[in-house]
Amino acid sequence: PADRIDPHYGLTLRQAIARGVEVIAWRAEVTPAAITLRTPLPVICPPW
């Protein structure tokens, strides 16, 4: 979960998952007029 970019984010995300937060990701189309969700994506979060 982007540990190399932001280690605090990775830690916080794993803590949230451990506490039962459901993590979802979507492929999106971004245009100047709108952001449109297209398809769900798998979330891969390796353990600590």
Q: How far apart are the first and last CA of the chain?
A: 11
Residue 46 domain-assigned (yes or no) = no
Residue 26 lies in a domain: yes
Q: What is the pLDDT of residue 46?
A: 85
In a domain? residue 16:
yes
Does residue 28 belong to any structural domain of this protein? yes
| In a domain? residue 1 | no
Give domain status of residue 36, yes or no: yes
Per-residue pLDDT tens digits for 25-48 = 999 999 999 999 999 999 998 887
Does some domain include residue 15? yes
Cα–Cα dist 23/36, whole Å: 19
Model confidence at 1, pLDDT cuts 50, 70, 90, reads confident
Q: What is the DSSP letter of 37?
A: E
* Number of compact structural domains in the chain: 1
Domain that holds residue 35: 7-41
Domain presence at residue 47: no
